[in-house]
Structure 1
Amino acid sequence: MVKDSEHGLEVGLGWAGAMRPGEYGPLAAYAEKAGVDSLIVYSDLMFQPPLGPLLEMANATKSVSLTLGCLTPFTVHPVEIAGQLAYLDAASDGRATLGLVRGAWLEKLGLDQRRTITAIRETCEIVTRLLSGDRSGFDGKVFTLGEGLGLQYSPRRTEVPLTIGTWSPKLASLAGELADEVEVGGTANPDMVEVIRRMTMVGTEMAGRPSDALEISFNPMLVIDDDGEKAEALARTMGAMYVAVVGAHDPTVELDPEMVGKMNALIADDDHEGAGRLISPGLLRKFLICGTPSDAIDHLLELEEAGVDRVYLGNPFGLDEDTGLRLLAEKVLPGLRSRGSREA
């Protein structure tokens, strides 16, 4: 994916699919017109599968990249992943990318995820073989592809960019070995850049790749409004779960165990607003981007300075989604690129 010519940081938007059919296309067209670089729909458990929304987006756009986000081979077989990817790539005229993850909350389905690294490595291998037309077969420890099996159609491209999403050192190392991008979800913490870079370097060095071969992306929630205090209040309520859950994976953040215990208890009682009130402003901004549009620009520039290549901003975007997207389009993106050009 090619970076914006005027500003180094790419800005994308991300959703877990929950809208009605027909709503994704206009949203994607608006985002593209506003200057967003990429769109991603996540395959989070019990949300809509991402292929349908992304096909709507492909039909409504011309240039943005479109990512099948956080597919996991524990719920979607690698053969099906290859097929979905090939179809989206054809429908978008070569704009598809693939995002693979271990997958969260899958214990609720009784799935065994103990062989995560092997499963994702073999998924990459099978997808690569199918897209390239290799029919020699594959006999893995988790997945098998019989000799002679291959796609019964010609894919648009034989190679498609790969993103691996993770907080895990082992999976980050695999990303360094195989992927084009590593994505860290639920963080807006500049200090995490060097942490994830060190994790991926194990894999890049093993594969003989340069350390900068892998791009780094973050996936923080965005809540902005001209009234920064209202935006922060909503961010606290909606972001409490991220602080309580994701915070345990961030080695640069020290969380008070007593506070986390209180937060978890409040969240269990569905009192997210109460849990959010326990979070300090500084801690909140380690996990999401909130406040005024100017606050968001400052935060994004800080992430760029730290070495983030791309951010996928997650909804609600603002006090309501339409207002948040309008402020992003009218104030944040123009201000980000204007300031970035002057400061470069």
Structure 2
Amino acid sequence: MSLDLRIFTEPQQGASYDDQLALARATEELGFSAFFRSDHYLAIGDGDGLPGPTDAWTTLAGLARETTTVRLGTLVSSATFRHPGVLAIQVAQVDQMSGGRVELGLGTGWFQAEHAAYGIPFPDKRFGILEEQLAVVTGLWGTPEGETFSHAGEHYTLTDSPALPKPTQDRIPVIVGGGGPRRTPALAARFADEYNQAFPEIDTIGPRIRVIEQALADAGRGADSMVQSAALVVAVGKNEAEFAKRAAAIGREPAELREHGVAGTVAEAADRLRDLEKAGVSRVYLQVLDLHDLDHLDLLAREVRPQLD
């Protein structure tokens, strides 16, 4: 199977660390390549978010010690949440703790209410912050041992940093996404190993990949130097009744899920995944919104995935 399937969840909607551990272990045992989570501090939309948020990198540090093979990461961390020097240390340490299984998705941040709720500044203009964070984080990781890293920018200044600790991996994969027509593709081409489209309209996926491939060419990179991925909600049933039950459990309408996600019967889900691959996607993050429905993951692994071989 050439299409890489990953599990992605939204713990801010209501999940404890133990809930996430159970899902991450199921992800690993069932052979999905990675467990990713969002990086949010406030529930989005309806719901109280009980028992409350868990910090993404604290959670991933725990999972790094309680899993053995599955890759771990964020989709995506907000550049407003952490100083890039601190983020570089955190991610490198979790990479060490996992034996080299970490990936970093980083974005500008968008959810103003969670910033207000926890006293986190939310500047109007954040693209420059993201750009500098990517430069600092990758610069710190890439500085050889025994040398120092300095950066003087509009938002951050680092002076003679020892640039430690170093990740276990030679290079921690960096994931960038976003819909901007010029700056975002150029930023991805400069820093990223993967470009992610988060919950796109299905018919826009292929054209967006062509935009990113042109940005790569403009930067002197080959199209195969970047993974093209998409994150889509998943809700699949062995039959229509089971699918409808799973749709109801996450508060979504079956017709809407079929239009926008990997959803419906096993055959329909497999068809959608094959269509994504034809559009140029090589990795899909399946957004699992009911963390307690481990039978759902089992169905995806045992009945959907084999149809892609």
* TM bracket, shorter-chain basis: 0.7 to 0.9
Q: How does 1:243-282 map to 2 (within 5 A)?
A: 276=253, 281=255
Partner-residue secondary structure (3-state), 1:167: coil
Taking a change above 3 Å as real, the CA distance of residues 326 and 157 of structure 1, as seen in their structure-2 partners, is: closer
Q: 1:207 aligns with which of 216, 219, 236?
A: 219
With the length of structure 2 as denominator, give the TM-score of the two structures: 0.83
Q: Tell me what 1:175 maps to.
A: 188
1:63 aligns with 2:65: no
TM-score w.r.t. the length of structure 1 is: 0.75
- State the SS of the aligned residue for 2:238: coil
> Which of these residues, 135, 146, 150, is aligned with residue 125 of structure 1?
135
Counterpart residue identity of residue 25, structure 2? A
Q: Give the whole-Å Cα distance in 1 for the aligned partners of 2:276 and 2:302.
A: 21
* SS in structure 1 of the partner of residue 7 of structure 2: strand
What is the correspondence of 1:10-25 to structure 2 with a 5 Å cutoff? Answer: 10-17=4-11, 18-25=14-21
Q: Distance in 2 between matches of 1:182 and 1:42?
A: 16
1:140 paired to 2:134: no
Alignment deviations for residues 21-73 of structure 1 (CA, whole Å, 9 cap, x no partner): 33333332222221101111110242422123323332233222211331121
- 8 Å CA contact 1:98, 1:160 repeated in 2: yes
1:299-324 per-residue CA deviation (whole Å, 9 max, x = no partner) reads: 11111122111011011369x62221
Q: Report the secondary structure of 2:148's partner residue.
A: coil
Structure 1 pair 175–59 and aligned structure 2 pair: CA distance change class (3 A): same
- The answer (yes or no) to whether the contact 1:193–1:216 under 8 Å persists in 2 is no
- State the partner residue of 1:342: none
Counterpart residue type for residue 304 of structure 1 = E
Report how far residue 101 of structure 1 moved: 1.1
Q: Secondary structure at the match of 1:8?
A: coil
Query: Which runs of no fewer than 5 residues in structure 2 stay unpaired?
Result: 43-52
Amino acid in the other structure paired with 1:204: L
Which residues of 2 match residues 43-62 of structure 1 at below 5 A? 43-46=39-42, 47-62=53-68
CA distance in 2, matches of 1:39, 1:108: 24
Find the counterpart in structure 2 of residue 99 from structure 1: 105
Structure 1 unaligned blocks of 5 or more: 1-6, 239-271, 338-344
Counterpart of 1:13 in structure 2: which amino acid?
I
Any conservation in 1 of the 2:93–2:165 contact (CA below 8 Å)?
no
Per-residue Cα deviation, 1:145-191 (whole angstroms, up to 9, x for no partner): 1x2123454432352111012223232331123211111112361x2
1:113–1:308 CA distance, 2 compared to 1 (3 A): farther
The number of aligned residues is 289
Instruction: Measure the CA separation in 2 of the matches of 1:329 and 1:202.
Output: 34
Secondary structure at 1:298 match in 2: helix
Tell me if 1:89 matches 2:83: no
CA contact (8 A) 1:173 1:201 kept: no
Distance in 2, matches of 1:215 and 1:109, equals 31
Q: What code does the residue aligned with 2:178 have?
A: T
Distance 1:125 1:292 in 2: 44
For 1:8, the equivalent position in structure 2 comes to 2
Structure 1 position 307 matched with structure 2 position 280: yes
Which amino acid in structure 1 is aligned with residue 93 of structure 2?
Y
Local SS of the residue matching 2:136? helix
Q: Aligned equivalents of 1:153 and 1:112: distance in 2?
A: 29
| Residue type of the alignment partner of 2:191 | L
Match of 1:196 in 2: 208
Q: Which amino acid aligns with 1:326?
A: D
Distance 1:300 1:206, change over 3 A: same
Equivalent residue letter for 1:165: G
Identity %: 24
Q: Write the distance in 1 (CA, Å) between the matches of 2:213 and 2:277.
A: 20
